[in-house]
Amino acid sequence: MFRNLFNRGPRPVEPAVDVDRALDDLQLRAARTKAAGGDWRAARDVIEAAGADWERRGRRVSVLSDTAADDGTWLYDWLTATPDDPTANVLLAATLAEQAGRARGSAPASHTTQEQFQDFAELSAHAAAAARRAISLAPHDPTPWVGVLWAMFADGHSRQAEFHQAFTEALRRDPYNFGTHLAAVSFLCEKWYGSHQEMFGLARQAAAAAPPGTAVTMLPLFAHFEYAMREFNWGTPTPEGVLACRRYFQRPEVRQEYDACAAKWRGAGRPTHGDAMVCRNWLALAYALADRRAEAKAMFDEIGPYATSPVWSYFFGSIEHGFQHNRRWANAR
């Protein structure tokens, strides 16, 4: 007995957690590495390879903007070489928006300094101006209009009419664009410039109108995350807050709604759109909060190592910790 007790052998190695926003887009990862090394043409080519798949194009622009926000030398070399390149200008706008978000930080307003707010406003104004120039160079691309939407977060109370105009223009170019709708639902949530009612209204309207298989069909689930975080776990996550969120996601009417979203999302076969992995992470979190172990495990199996989406941090402090903690639970015997 004692021999068996003390000679259990090495513990199995846990699967890695990959928090890279490029996810399973290996072409994007390779291009980003080359761009960071000075080859801006690699960034141009991988964005333009998405063609009129505006959702994938927008995701690639967003991921590359993270890299350019760290060190934008290669992006400015690109703009110097071809100052009127539409793709370069779209990326510039996204990079300035990323820098604006970093300047503000993710803390609630009560824990954000006046200097942070000022930097947020100034960089957002630069992002908006860059997005408007990108629109003039790429009139058919919804991506810079999404940039205009995000730039309004620094001063949303005075820009309601401008917000709706930008939202309409983005939808005119791509009616079911995920990036457009995510920005709009976020703008209308209670922690920014709207209310729970406005947030759910837009999310549900978009999901009902969207074709099966599109990421937009999952927006009501995102709205439930925003609602639960704001109502039960605002600020620093606490065990009591997470427990209240778990109870919320176990409510029959909440489960029924996100189950319907998931069914429609899968209704056209296995989703392969640019933000499919984000939607899988959303579902894995919802199933975990609702104590649905079998469904959560199946979703984690689909996801593999790719932890994404800030919603994990709404309830567990960070993306990596939330993902790993719940994956362990889902795979426990």
Q: How much is the pLDDT for 11?
A: 56
Q: How much is the pLDDT for 161?
A: 82
- Tens-digit pLDDT string for the chain (333 aa): 444 444 555 555 678 899 999 999 999 999 999 999 999 999 999 999 999 999 999 999 999 999 999 999 999 999 999 999 999 999 999 999 999 988 887 777 777 888 888 888 899 999 999 999 999 999 999 999 999 999 998 887 767 788 999 999 999 999 999 999 999 999 999 999 999 999 999 999 999 999 999 999 999 999 999 999 999 998 788 899 999 999 999 999 999 999 999 999 999 999 999 999 999 999 999 999 999 999 999 999 999 999 998 999 999 989 999 999 999 999 997
Q: How much is the pLDDT for 323?
A: 97
Query: Do residues 243 and 288 touch, judged by C-beta distance below 8 A?
Result: no
CA pair distance 332, 79, nearest whole angstrom:
51
Query: Do residues 152 and 166 touch, judged by C-beta distance below 8 A?
Result: yes
Q: How much is the pLDDT for 112?
A: 80
pTM of the model: 0.92
Q: How much is the pLDDT for 1?
A: 42
CA dihedral 151, 108, 251, 327 (to 10 degrees): 90
Nearest to 28 by CA among 54, 58, 53, 64: 64
Q: Which domains does the chain have, with CATH numbers?
A: 22-174 (1.25.40), 199-333 (no CATH)
Strands of the chain, DSSP E: none
Q: How much is the pLDDT for 12?
A: 58
Q: Where on the phi/psi map is residue 309: left (φ > 0), alpha (ψ -120 to 50), or beta?
A: left
- The residue to which tokens 């790719």 are assigned: 306
CA pair distance 170, 145, nearest whole angstrom:
5
